[in-house]
Amino acid sequence: MISKKNINLLLANLLLFSGYALGQSTCNCLDNLQKAIQRVEADYAGFPDKITEKNDVAYARLKDRLKKRAISLNDPIACYGVLSDYVNYFYDKHFRIEYNAPIDSVVIEIDAEQVMKTSTTSKPNSITGIWKNPEGTEIAIFKQKDRSYQAVKLVSAADDFPKGFVYFTLTPKGNNYTVKLYNRKINLEIPAKQVGNLLRIWNFQLWAKVGNAPLSEGEKAEWASWQEHKKGLLFKKLNPDLAYLKIPTFDGNEGAIQSLVSENDSVIRNSKYLIIDLTGNAGGSAGWVALMPYLMTNQVNQKSSLLRVSKANVTNKLRDLEPFVKSPIPNEYKKYFPKETLAQYQKAYRDLPSTSQVFYPTPAVNFPLEAVLKYPEKVALIVDDFGGSATEYFFYLTKQSKKVISYGEPTIGMMDYVGMSIPTTLPYKAFKLYIPIEKSSWTDEHPIDRTGFEPQVPIAGRQEDWLTYIIKDLPSRPLNL
**CA neighbor of 243 nearest in space, from 127, 110, 379, 72:** 379
**Under a CB-based contact definition with an 8 Å cutoff, are residues 206 and 226 in contact?**
yes
pLDDT digits (tens, 9 = 90+) for 267-292: 999 999 999 999 999 999 889 999 99
- 321 — alpha (psi -120 to 50), left (phi > 0) or beta? alpha
Which helix (DSSP H) or strand (DSSP E) does residue 348 occupy?
helix 339-351
* pLDDT value, residue 481: 66
* pLDDT value, residue 15: 35
Q: What is the pTM of this model?
A: 0.92
In angstroms, the CA 462 to CA 66 distance is 42
**CA neighbor of 413 nearest in space, from 396, 400, 401, 399:** 396
In angstroms, the CA 407 to CA 394 distance is 14
Interhelix angle 339-351/311-326, rounded to 10 degrees, is: 140
pLDDT digits (tens, 9 = 90+) for 158-217: 999 999 999 999 999 999 999 999 999 999 999 999 999 999 999 999 999 997 778 999
Which residues of the chain have a pLDDT value below 70?
Answer: 1-25, 481
* pLDDT value, residue 257: 96
* Burial zone of 253 (CB within 10 Å; 0-12 exposed, 13-18 middle, 19+ buried): buried
* pLDDT value, residue 6: 42
Phi, psi of 188 (to 5 degrees): -70, 135
| Domains along the chain with CATH numbers | 19-99 (no CATH), 112-214 (2.40.128), 231-301+369-414+449-476 (3.90.226.10), 305-362 (no CATH)
> How far, in Å, are 168, 379, 467 from residue 278 at the CA level?
25, 13, 12
